Amino acid sequence: MSTVFIALQTNEDTRPIIEAIVQDNPAAIVNEAPAMVKIDAEGKLVIRRETVEELIGRPYDLQELQVNLITMSGNLDQTDDEMTLYWNA
Amino acid sequence: MDMQVAKKKLGLKERYAVMTRGLDWVPSYQKMEDIYPYMTYEGIKIHDWDKWEDPFRLTMDAYWKYQSEKERKLYAVLDAFNQNNGHLNVTDARYINTVKLFVSGISPLEYVAHRGFAHAGRQFPGPGPRVACLMQSLDEIRHAQTQVHAVANYNKYYNGMHDFHHAHDRVWFLSVPKSFFDDAITAGPFEFMVSIGFSFEYVLTNLLFVPFVSGAAYNGDMGTMTFGFSAQSDEARHMTLGLEVIKFILEQDPDNLPIVQRWIDKWTWRGYRVLTLVAMMMDYMLPKRTMSWKEAWEIYFEENGGALFKDLARYGITMPKCAEQIALEKDHLSHQAWSTFYNYAAAANFHTWMPDEDEMAWLSAKYPNSYDKYYRPRMEYWREQAAKGNRFYNKTLPMLCQTCQVPMIFTEPGDPTKTCYREVDYKDSKYHFCSDHCKAIFEHEPEKYVQSWLPVHQIYQGNCFPEGTDPTVEGFDPLAAVLKYYHLESGRDNLDFEGSEDQKNFDEWRGMATKNV
C-alpha cells in the first residue's frame, strides 16, 4: 500500500488536530520539519470532526483546516464528519 | 418567550450540490459551440459535466470566509516582520538572493496562472469546474499580490528586485519559467488544466513550495515563510483539483487516455526543467539547508509521485518516461545549474558565490556519488581563482534549448562528462535541444516552438539593447547595453556576492542593530 500524507503548519490551531489524527490513526507517523508537521500513513488517513471537538472543547468545522493546510497526497473525500485521504492501489 | 430554534443546516454534500449545480442554462438562440468554442479541438470528449466533483466540496461562501482569514493572518505577520526589521534576522545576506529569484521568476507566474484559470473557467460548460477554476483564479492573483507585498519590504533595502516584472519579461534565464507558463496558457483549456492543474500543482508544486518555504523558516525569513504558507494552503486545494481533473477526464471517455498521457509526459518534463532553479536554490543558495534537492525529489516525486501513478494505473495512465532520465540527473542537476549561474553572474539580477568549506562538506555528504568526483574540483578551482582576483565571469552567451530555454548545460544521461546536444532540422532551420524529451516535445508541435523568444538569439539580433543604441560604435560593450535594457545596474545588481553592496549593507545594519552607535 502507498503512503498518503498531510502537512500542516506548526501552530496552536493545529496542535489538537495533530493529536486527533494520532488518536484516530494509530499507525500514522508524525514528522516535524521547520515550521511544519508532516503526517504519513499507509494507504489511508482519517481526520474525524468529533475527535477534534473533544480535544478543543468547541464545535469544529473540518473546512477550518484549509487555513493551516500546507500540502497533502492521496485521493480526498470530505464530509461534515470526516476528511479522508486514501489511495486505491 | 420565543425560543431560538437553530435551523437545520444543509450537510456539506447537499450544500455543494446546491451551490454548484443547476446554475447554468441551455442556450436557445446561440449554439453551444459558439459559446464554448475551445471545447472540442483538443480531442477530449466529455459526456456529463455533472460528474465533476470537488472533493473538498468548497462553496463560494466558505471560500470567502477562509480566504479572508488567511489574509488577516498573513498581513498581521508581515506588519510585525517589517516593524521588527525582520530582514536583519535572516541567516546571512546571501539568503536574500533566493527571494530575488522568487519574485522575478515565480511571482509573475502566479499572475499568469490567475489569467489562465479565469480563461479555462470561462471555457468549460460545466458549473462544477467553473466554480473550481474561479476559486483558483482568485487564489493565484492573491498569491501574486501577497508575494509582491511581502518582497516589497526587502526591496527597500536590497538590490536587484526593483523592477522584477520588467526583468521577468526580458532577463535571459527568466525566460525559462516565463515560457513554461506561456506555453501552458496558449494551449487549449484541457491541456492547460492537465499542465498546470495536474502536472505542475499535483506532481511538482511540493518541490517548489515546501522546500522553499521550509527553507525560509529555517533561515529566519518570517515574511517569506508566511506568504509561502498562506499560498500553500491554497495549493492543497489546487492539487486536489488537479487530481480530480485527471480522473474526471479519464472517466468520461476511453479515447481521452492517449491524449492525457501525452500531456502528462510533456508537462512533467517541462515542469521539471523549470525546477532546475529550485534545485540550485536548495543546494547552494540557502545558507541553512533543509534537505538536498535529491532528497526532496526522492520524497516528493519518487515516493509520492510513485503512489500517485500507481493509483492512476487503473485508468491506464503510466509513470512518465522522463522519470528515468530525471533519476539519473538528480545527482547532478543542482551542481550543473549553480556552476552556470556562477559563470553568468555578470548578467543576472542576483548574486552568486562559491560554497565555503563547510558547505562543500555538506554537498559531499549529500551527493557521495557525484560531488567530489565531478563538481568539487572545478568549484575549488574557481574559488582559488577568485581569491587571486581572477573571479571568472563568462561573457560568451550560451546556446539555449528551443523548448525549455535552459542553456544547454545538461550532460548525457548516464555520462556526466559529456554535454548533451540534440538537434532537429525543420523547414529551413536547425533547432537545438538539451535532451531527447525537449526534442520530442518540439517534434510533436514544431509550429508552436519555432516561435520561442530565445533571449540569446534576441540579443544577437540586436533586440535587447535600449532604444537608440548603436552597436557599431567603437568599443561597444554588448553586456552593458543588455543590462541597461534589463534595468539592472552593473556592479550593484549583478556579480559575486563577495564585495556586493548587499553584503556590505547587511553587515553594517546588523551591526547597528546590536550596538549603540
Residue to mutate among B60, B234, B240, B298, with most A CBs inside 10 A, is B240
At A89 the pLDDT is: 77
Per-residue pLDDT tens digits for A37-84: 999 999 999 999 999 999 999 999 999 998 999 889 999 999 999 999
Mark yes or no for CB contact B235/A79 under 8 Å. no
B22 has a pLDDT exceeding 90: no
Mark yes or no for CB contact B210/A71 under 8 Å. yes
Q: Which residues of A touch B313 (CB under 8 A)?
A: 89
SS3 label, residue B44: coil
Mark yes or no for CB contact A67/B218 under 8 Å. no
Q: Percentage of residues in chain B with pLDDT exceeding 90?
A: 79
**A36, A69, A89: residue with CB nearest B236:** A69
At A33 the pLDDT is: 83
Predicted TM-score (pTM) of the model is 0.93
Integer CA distances (angstroms), B317 to A9, A71, B49, B132, B256, in order: 33, 23, 22, 24, 11
The total number of residues written for chain A in this structure:
89
Residue to mutate among A80, A82, A84, A85, with most B CBs inside 10 A, is A80
| Residue B405: count of CB within 10 angstroms of its CB | 26
Q: Where are the domains of chain B?
A: 49-163+170-352+394-466+477-514
Q: Does A50 touch chain B (CB under 8 A)?
A: no
B515 has a pLDDT exceeding 90: no
Mean pLDDT of B184-188: 97
- Write the CB contacts of B428 (distance below 8 Å, at least 6 apart in sequence): none
- Residue B78 in grid coordinates: 508581515
At B206 the pLDDT is: 84
Mean pLDDT of chain B: 93
For residue B307, the distance in angstroms to the closest alpha carbon of chain A comes to 5
Q: Which CATH class is domain B49-163+170-352+394-466+477-514?
A: mainly alpha
Contact B167, B155 (CB under 8 A): no
pLDDT band at residue B3 using 50, 70 and 90 as cut-offs: low
Nearest to B232 by CA among B220, B217, B248, B244: B217
At B5 the pLDDT is: 62
Mark yes or no for CB contact B311/A36 under 8 Å. no
By the 10 Å C-beta count (0-12 exposed, 13-18 middle, 19+ buried), B425 is classed as exposed
Q: Does A86 touch chain B (CB under 8 A)?
A: no
Q: Which residues of B touch A66 (CB under 8 A)?
A: 56, 58, 66, 233, 236-237
SS3 label, residue B217: helix
- Write the CB contacts of B499 (distance below 8 Å, at least 6 apart in sequence): none
**B56, B214, B306: residue with CB nearest A33:** B214
Q: How many CA atoms lie within 13 A of B221 on its CB side?
A: 27
Matching CATH number, A3-86, of 3.30.930.10, 3.40.50.970, 3.90.56.10, 3.40.50.300: 3.90.56.10
- The nearest alpha carbon in chain B to A36 belongs to B214
Nearest to B261 by CA among B199, B306, B310, B183: B199
Mark yes or no for CB contact A64/B66 under 8 Å. yes
Q: Which residues of A touch B310 (CB under 8 A)?
A: 2, 87, 89
pLDDT band at residue B6 using 50, 70 and 90 as cut-offs: low
Nearest to B195 by CA among B249, B145, B154: B249
DSSP state of B262: H
At B254 the pLDDT is: 97
DSSP state of B460: H
Per-residue pLDDT tens digits for B294-353: 999 999 899 988 999 999 999 999 999 999 999 999 999 999 999 999 999 999 999 999
| CA pseudo-torsion sign B245, B263, A87, B276 | negative
- The nearest alpha carbon in chain A to B71 belongs to A67
Per-residue pLDDT tens digits for B354-365: 999 999 999 999
Mean pLDDT of B454-468: 95
Per-residue pLDDT tens digits for B401-439: 999 999 999 999 999 999 999 999 999 999 999 999 999
| Residue B175: count of CB within 10 angstroms of its CB | 23
Secondary structure (DSSP) of B144-198: HHHHHHHHHHHHTTSSS-TTHHHHHTTSGGGHHHHHHHHHHHTS-HHHHIIIIII
The kind and range of the H/E element at A31 are strand A29-33
SS3 label, residue B310: helix
Mark yes or no for CB contact B232/A63 under 8 Å. no
Q: Where are the domains of chain A?
A: 3-86
Nearest to B140 by CA among B181, B170, B99, B180: B181
Mark yes or no for CB contact A2/B311 under 8 Å. yes
Q: Which residues of B touch A36 (CB under 8 A)?
A: 210, 213-214, 217
